Amino acid sequence: MAGEPKFRHNYVKLNRSARERAVKLSSIPWGCFGRDLDSTRTVAYDPKTTVRWPFAGRTEVAAKGMSTLVRGIHHITQCPGPAQQDLDFCTQVLGQRLVKQTVLMDGSIPIYHFYYGNADAEPGSIATSFPYSRKPGRRGSGQISRLSYAVPKGTMAFWKDHLDRHSVEHSGIEERFARKYLRMWHPAGMQYEVVEADDPRRPSTTKCISEDVASRGFFGAVMSVRSIEEQELFFVDALGFRKIGVDGPYHRFEATCGGPGSIIDLHHEPDLPPGSWGFGSGTFHHIAFSVDNDEALFAQKAHYEELGYTDASEVKDRYYFHSMYVRSPGGILVECTANVPGGFYQDESAEELGTKLTLPPWYESQRAEILAMLEPVTLPDENRRERTHRPFAGSTPVGASTTSIPLSRSNRDFARYQR
């Protein structure tokens, strides 16, 4: 296509298991989840940096002639308490659609893994939960402190009344970076906020939350850090974000692709003791950012290692996507994620999505043992409605990832353990 920027021919060496091979990244598209961005947007934080979308699904960064493998937020994972409590809050209070019921793929004890999202189950709207009542977490610095949802402008009064009707603790209406927002607390203690923003995504609705006021997906996330400098370097150098502003103790960063679900606020809290890193109720566990495919995932791992972040994990098979993790300097666990063909629709139709427990094939032989150890839950009626839109429909879904490289996969014998 005329006017398209040419792909940069980058060659990067992979990890030590493949050190003799190099991956040519000229075929990796610069898209943001394949979303059509038909406008040209200029970010005026640094006059030397202009970011434009001259055509659908590609990003050109003019400041340093650099490319980035990381797009926007893919999902954010939290550890609430009881499973039913989390289901009720996320679907009835936040108004999210239950997208998937499965289990935590690490560890030796069956733990639910719930996925919640917007009407189209899009990356950038997916909050996932490990209901972890076995032990409490410790909230503090070095963690995601708030998950932020985008809601239409002029809806703060609705959300305040909605939270009051459900007896949910909240902050009242506040403002940050000239945007109105409202904080609320999950029964397990995690914080969320709804932020007024223009967002074209299709929301999930409930009997109490209509389409004109419902959340569209993530606006972003807030992270608590005791020091800004090293975490800022990580976001800029390792993830390719750009800093776009400061508002008091909040330092704002945006993924180079921009658009929905691309904002990270670092909240400078120098006196806040560190929070826990492991699984524990009442905390957020990690944040995941999208990359286009497995090639990009391995290249991002190599990029981490080149910068000295040498504790990046192996690439793990999460069935619906492939993942790689690294602990960032501020303490927050950061995942990069590549979708696999079919995504959430590998094992459920659009009409069935989120209505039954699904397991990866390597756990199916243990279904009876797993079900016996999971706490029973009642699904909300809103999550049983027929859905017809399939964001991954077609033989080659957006961000589809295939690889011949062996992936790490847990396969525990759950029958050995009892509740």
User: Which pLDDT tens digit goes with each residue over 125-140?
Assistant: 999 999 998 899 999 9
| Number of domains, the chain | 1
Interval 52-81 mean pLDDT: 63
Amino acid at site 310:
T
Task: Collapse the DSSP code of 99 into the 3-class scheme (helix H, G, I; strand E, B; otherwise coil) and give the result.
Answer: strand
pLDDT at residue 268, rounded to an integer: 98
Amino acid at site 292:
D
- Identify the helix (H) or strand (E) that includes residue 62: none
Task: Collapse the DSSP code of 361 into the 3-class scheme (helix H, G, I; strand E, B; otherwise coil) and give the result.
Answer: helix
Q: In this model, does residue 270 exceed pLDDT 90?
A: yes
pLDDT at residue 413, rounded to an integer: 61
pTM of the model: 0.80
Q: Among residues 275, 273, 237, which one has the least CA distance to residue 256?
A: 237
Neighbours of 411 (CB within 10 A): 10
Q: In this model, does residue 355 exceed pLDDT 50?
A: yes
Q: Model confidence at 267, in pLDDT bands (50, 70, 90)? A: very high
Q: What range does the domain containing 211 cover?
A: 1-419
Interval 60-70 mean pLDDT: 55
Task: Collapse the DSSP code of 196 into the 3-class scheme (helix H, G, I; strand E, B; otherwise coil) and give the result.
Answer: strand
pLDDT at residue 17, rounded to an integer: 37
Token pair, residue 343, equals 């995504």
190, 147 contact by CB (below 8 A) = yes
| CATH number for position 211 | 3.10.180.10
More confident residue, 257 or 324: 324
Buried b (16+ CB within 10 A) or exposed e, 197-233: bebebbbbbbeebeeebbbbbbbbbbbbbbebeebbe
pLDDT at residue 380, rounded to an integer: 84
Q: Model confidence at 297, in pLDDT bands (50, 70, 90)? A: very high
Task: Collapse the DSSP code of 88 into the 3-class scheme (helix H, G, I; strand E, B; otherwise coil) and give the result.
Answer: helix
Token pair, residue 154, equals 């002029």
Please give the Cα distance from 83 to 132 (Å, whole number): 8
Q: Model confidence at 384, in pLDDT bands (50, 70, 90)? A: low
More confident residue, 47 or 354: 354
Please give the Cα distance from 196 to 387 (Å, whole number): 27
Interval 83-89 mean pLDDT: 97
- DSSP annotation string for 260-329: TT-EEEEEE-TTSPB---SS-BTEEEEEEEE-SSHHHHHHHHHHHHHHT-TTPPPPEE-SSEEEEEEE-T
Instruction: Find all residues with CB under 8 Å of 255, minimum gap 6, and list them.
Output: 32, 68, 70, 71, 72, 73, 239, 240, 241, 262, 289
274, 141 contact by CB (below 8 A) = yes
Q: Model confidence at 410, in pLDDT bands (50, 70, 90)? A: low
More confident residue, 326 or 16: 326
